[in-house]
Each structure stands twice: as C-alpha cells, then as structure tokens.
Amino acid sequence: MNKTIDCEDTLTAKGTVASKNIILDNSKDRIIRFLNLVDDQFHVKLSERVNIEDYSTKLSKAAMNYYLVIDEKDVGHLGFYVNKSDGFLFISSIALMKDFEGRGLAGKLIGFLKDYAVNLQIYKVSLHVHKEASNVVRFYKKHGFVITNDNKDNYVMSCEIKCINNEI
C-alpha cells in the first residue's frame, strides 16, 4: 500500500529544486533495499546487530514504514510501531542516504512523526540510541527527546508531545 504525502520543495545534491514526498510503503523488498544501502551509516552497522532480511520482515508486518522520496529516489526511511493501547510510538529505524544528511530532512521526518502521533491522540515517542552515537543523541535532544533509561549499550530516549490549540 502506498500513500503519498506532499512536502515542500528541497534542494537536490546538485543544488536543483526537487519535489519531495513522504510515502507509506510496508513492502519488505523496499525496506531491505533501503536498509542495505544505509547499513554502514549506523553507529554500529545494522547488519552486525540484526539480520536485515528478518528485521525487514518484522518491520513490513508490524510497523509503519515511510520513505522520504526526492526526484523519485528513496533518500530517507522512518520505521515505527504504533502502540495505541499504551499511548506511544516507538521509532525502530530512521535513516537518510549520506548525500542528504545535514539538510534538516531527518528533522522533517521527526516532525512528520509527531504530527502523525497527535492525529492518533498519542503524545509520546520513544526510541533506542547507541550510547556512543553522541551526534545522534544530540540530534534527538534538539528535537525534544530526553534520556529516560540507560541500558548496557543504549539509551532509551522519549519525547512528550505537547498539543496546545492543535499545534505541536
């Protein structure tokens, strides 16, 4: 199932203007393809922590998978689980292609996720971050996340989403 959400224009790697969309697609093959492309961009390679095919199967069956698409190319992925009964979303995966880092696009995906949560009347988002990925921890703190638990190798970070007059 594909669902496209239009976003504002952005600049491509070559500096030209391109339209970007956030597209829902839970197909296993697309998840595998993207995660293999960004495997070495995680603090600890994703393939060293999980079997990417098995992980993709799990994401395709139980998570929501959105892609940031620029000029018909997947440049970002956001995979998250909705736990409506307990009132939170859990980010399992968020990644951008290397050429698109540092442009505020990951922040756009977080903003999209917060809007999604509010639409479901969910006001908490959680995730795990490797302790040594200090740049990633800073990114999440910048977007309102705080460390709520300290596990062996990871921090659990959470963000309470405030909704005032329908604004996040």
- Which residues have CB under 8 Å from 146's CB, separation 6+? 157, 158, 159
Helix (H) / strand (E) containing 75: strand 73-83
163: confidence class by pLDDT, cuts 50, 70, 90: low
Say what the pLDDT of residue 164 is: 46
Q: Considering only 74-83, 98-107, 157-166, which range has the smallest mean pLDDT?
A: 157-166
Q: CA-CA distances (angstroms) from residue 143 to 39, 52, 150?
A: 24, 28, 19
Taking 50 as the threshold, does the pLDDT of residue 73 lie above it? yes
Residue-wise pLDDT tens digits, 6-65: 444 444 444 333 456 999 999 999 999 999 999 999 988 999 999 999 999 999 999 999
Residue 8: other Cβ atoms inside 10 A: 7
Backbone torsion region of residue 69, taken as left when φ is above 0, otherwise alpha when ψ lies between -120 and 50, otherwise beta: beta
Give the CATH number, domain containing residue 71. 3.40.630.30
Residue 40 lies in a domain: yes
Nearest to 23 by CA among 72, 76, 67: 67
1: confidence class by pLDDT, cuts 50, 70, 90: very low
Residue 167 lies in a domain: no
Residue 97 lies in a domain: yes
- Dist. CA 141–CA 146, nearest whole Å: 6
Nearest to 25 by CA among 71, 56, 70: 56
Domain count for the chain, please give it.
Answer: 1
Give the residue with greater pLDDT, 17 vs 4. 4
Give the single-character DSSP code of 164: B
Domain range holding 57?
3-160
Residue 103 lies in a domain: yes
Give the residue with greater pLDDT, 2 vs 39. 39
Residue 166 lies in a domain: no
Give the residue with greater pLDDT, 165 vs 77. 77
Taking 70 as the threshold, does the pLDDT of residue 138 lie above it? yes
Residues 57-69: b if buried by 16+ CB within 10 A, e if exposed: ebbbeebbbbbbb
- Which residues have CB under 8 Å from 3's CB, separation 6+? 23, 24
Residue-wise pLDDT tens digits, 85-137: 999 999 999 999 999 999 999 999 999 999 999 999 999 999 999 999 999 99
Residue 165 lies in a domain: no
Say what the pLDDT of residue 43 is: 87
Residue 168 lies in a domain: no
Residue 92 lies in a domain: yes
